[in-house]
Amino acid sequence: MALNWLTACGTLFCAGLYLWLGGRKSVAMAIVVFYGAVHLDSKIERVKSTADKFIENESSIDEEKPKKKKCCGGKGGSGCCSSKGNKKKGGCSCGHSKNADIEDIADSLESGLVVSTSQEKDTSSGEKSTSRETNAEKRDNIIAVDFTQAFKRLSKKKGKNGKDARPRKHITKASVLKKPKEEDDLVKSAMTVSNESLLSSQVYVFYSSLQGGAERSARKVLETLSRLIELKAPPILLNMDDITDIDDYFVSVPCENALYILVVPSYDTDCPLDYFLQTLEENFNDFRIDKFPLRKLVGYGILGIGDSETWPEKFCYQAKKVDHWIARLGGRRIFPVGEVCMKTEAESKVQEWADLLCETIKDDTPILYEYDEEVTSSNEDDRPEEDMIDLEDIGNSDISGNDTKQMVAKNSPTYKKLTKQGYTIVGSHSGVKICRWTKSDLRGTGSCYKHSLFNIVSSRCMELTPSLACSSKCVFCWRHGTNPVSKNWRWELDEPDYILENALQGHYSKIKQMRGVPGVVMERFAKAFKVRHCALSLVGEPIMYPYITKFIELLHEKQISSFLVCNAQHPDALASIGKVTQLYVSIDAPTKTELKKVDRPLFKDFWERMLQCLDILNSEQSHQRTVFRLTLVKGFNMADVSAYADLVQRGLPSFIEVKGATFSGSSDGNGNPLTMQNIPFYEECTKFVKEFAAELQRRGLGYGIAAEHAHSNCILIASTEFKINGEWHTHIDFDKFFELLASGKQFYPMDYVAKTPEWALFGNGGFAPGDTRVYRKGKKKRMMQSSEKESNETQA
């Protein structure tokens, strides 16, 4: 019986019927497997039989066909081994007959010839009596052929271009296709400088108005700009409703130095602004128009007006849309979008926005005109091209011949590395830098954990260090050894007032760069030019600076609160510190072994120094508002809660700030072994804090979990002294602090406390209700995008 698809179907049917009648599955499976094995053997036999017939047929053809005298000796066979007195019957000893057979087979394969079964039947059957062993030998000989020769181009003897010559094969070399670079519509993050001075530009003030409010506001802006003496050309007022062709101004530009100021209201009814917005969108999507036609502008600014009381969900929404499309068309934003409610202080707010605009036009500082947090973070974490080393003696990099060297000379590699990371170097040993939370707070997308724990406004906080040098090389440091290290001060000294004035100037310069960033809140941007808080941390060890007390006094004279962070390695300097708003001490590990592993301090007596600093907090500095700062690193310092409690019992701080380490990349060249596996999750931090607080309470120390900022993995444990009438008071009343400081009397932490708001308490997340949460990845991001889409559809 032939084994084909009919028998296969029959076998499967029988097996299925057997199962349906209650048979065993194993038996049915055995039947199917057995049939498959038999079918395979039968197929192999058929293949072998066909191969035998092919070889027999080829042998009979070879016998009937006269053999050509071709051999390895070239023309005429003069060089053949059989013609040199060493002739053998049956051809040359080099085995050319076999090669000729292979050539014939290769020719037939290349030309697509196939010997069919009918051809096999028509061939002579005189050799069918040949034994099976002989056929197998021939088959084995063919299989043993070196196919590297069979696939070479075989030349014929009729000339290079004869009719029997094989066509030359052209093999195209495989080329590596480069992945096309993705082109975004907007530049992610860049600094831009105008080709024209802002004061040399021709200002056009556009407005669109149905009820006259936008026109009045536009005229007020025009009057303010007209009073700007430095402005070389008088500003021009234009009503967008009267413009015949919008493309004359928003595809073409009236002059090379045009600067646009737009006063845009928002309406819930049909208005000329709808057509204007539609035109901008169409221009952006029109392939016939230059992709960025408004790149030719010197810049633009937008003032939105509306009604935030009766229409809060659509307040200034059309102004934001205009800003969006002008930016997409290549416009260079020189000032944040203003948002003014016409029902509350309209005149004063418009005047305030116009005054700030005039101050901006006077300044041609490069503008960060697009900002993406992820890109900025990655740029800041870029490693310098040179090998980074811990600079025990950074003075060696200074080529000057002075005995006292500069800590960070301008011609040193350290200066280059720090400026590349976004620092503004002040003098020779200080630095200032705005952090991501300052940028985020300016855009209304969230504040630092210090806001939820202590009431520090991020957009008004300056991060500064008067000493870029440090006495430790912590594994979680975000600078990876870029800054110099030393046990004590041995460099040139800059005066405190010089550092403060230049630091403020550098900070404000970086704030100005944010004016081109979309989403910057005008009110916060304006207040950012009056620094209210100074975090003396950033990088390095601020307490190493010999004039640190004088520097803090200068801050207080300017009504700037002080937050000093130290690594508990300089007890003498800590004991001599004057009054600060809040004094931090970093406790990065609970035992001597772990502290050496985590902080990698330079001092040999580092553990004794830290314990001495804790004693100072509980004695000379007990009048200060003190904080123990714990940075948790998995695998390094999260195991021994009891040992941490011993340190707390010794220092008795006002607060214990527990924060999970933030991953800022690894740096093998500087001994930084951290990976993402060492970064604790929020749940792990919460578990640690609960165990820690329970241990403190078990010892009767009187601490409880007060507040948190979940986004930063930061949780605050506070002394129960700050729980007044059952409510936590961890926030700071800064006005009260400066009032007490001016009195000259001794005062204590409890004298300037403020109530912790509900949203900042532990369990509530710690995200300020006035900000908008932005999710950058994952399920929550998709949910936010879908809700925004629904909102836009509702508005439309």
* Band of pLDDT at residue 753, cut at 50, 70 and 90: very high
**Rg of the chain's alpha carbons, rounded to an integer?**
41
Tens digits of residue pLDDT in 670-683: 455 677 888 889 99
pLDDT of residue 111: 43
- Report which of residues 751 and 374 the model is more confident about: 751
* Band of pLDDT at residue 626, cut at 50, 70 and 90: very high
The candidate with the shortest Cα–Cα distance to 662, out of 712, 707, 702, is 712
CATH of domain 417-760: 3.20.20.70
Find residue 631's DSSP bridge partners.
Answer: 659
Backbone angles phi, psi at 468, to 5 degrees: -75, -15
Which of 64-73, 531-540, 752-761 is the least confident region?
64-73
- Report which of residues 297 and 537 the model is more confident about: 297
**Residue 551 DSSP SS3:** helix
Tens digits of residue pLDDT in 207-245: 988 888 899 999 999 999 999 888 889 999 999 888 888
pLDDT of residue 372: 41
Q: Where are the domains of the chain?
A: 190-370, 417-760
pLDDT of residue 50: 67
Mean per-residue pLDDT, 591-602: 87
Q: Give the whole-angstrom CA distance, residue 169 versus residue 172.
A: 10
Mean per-residue pLDDT, 750-769: 93
Residue 64 pLDDT > 80? no
| Mean model confidence pLDDT for the chain | 77
| Beta carbons of 565 and 542 less than 8 angstroms apart | yes
Per CATH, which fold does 190-370 belong to? Rossmann fold (3.40.50)
End-to-end CA distance of the chain: 75
Mean per-residue pLDDT, 464-471: 89
* Band of pLDDT at residue 400, cut at 50, 70 and 90: very low
* Band of pLDDT at residue 478, cut at 50, 70 and 90: low
Mean per-residue pLDDT, 270-287: 84
Classify residue 157 by its DSSP letter. Answer: S
Residue 655 pLDDT > 60? yes
Q: Which of 158-172, 184-198, 323-337, 357-371 has maximum average pLDDT?
A: 323-337
Mean per-residue pLDDT, 28-40: 76
Tens digits of residue pLDDT in 86-113: 444 444 544 444 444 444 544 444 444 3
Residue 698 pLDDT > 90? yes
**Residue 361 DSSP SS3:** helix
Question: Which residues lie below 8 Å from residue 419, measured CB to CB, with a gap of 6+?
Answer: 425
pLDDT of residue 363: 77
Classify residue 177 by its DSSP letter. Answer: P
- Report which of residues 194 and 389 the model is more confident about: 194
**What is the share, in percent, of the chain residues with pLDDT greater than 90?**
36
* Band of pLDDT at residue 770, cut at 50, 70 and 90: confident
Q: How distant, in Å, are the alpha carbons of 506, 553, 620, 780 from that of 361?
A: 18, 34, 51, 40
* Band of pLDDT at residue 666, cut at 50, 70 and 90: low
Residue 496 pLDDT > 70? yes
The candidate with the shortest Cα–Cα distance to 741, out of 557, 516, 527, is 557
pLDDT of residue 375: 36
Residue 262 pLDDT > 60? yes
- Report which of residues 770 and 134 the model is more confident about: 770
Residue 328 pLDDT > 70? yes
Q: Give the whole-angstrom CA distance, residue 210 versus residue 492.
A: 64
Q: Give the whole-angstrom CA distance, residue 216 versus residue 313.
A: 24
Taking the whole predicted model, whether its pTM rises above 0.85 is answered as: no
Tens digits of residue pLDDT in 703-721: 999 999 998 899 999 999 9
Q: Give the whole-angstrom CA distance, residue 718 versus residue 652.
A: 11
Residue 141 pLDDT > 50? no
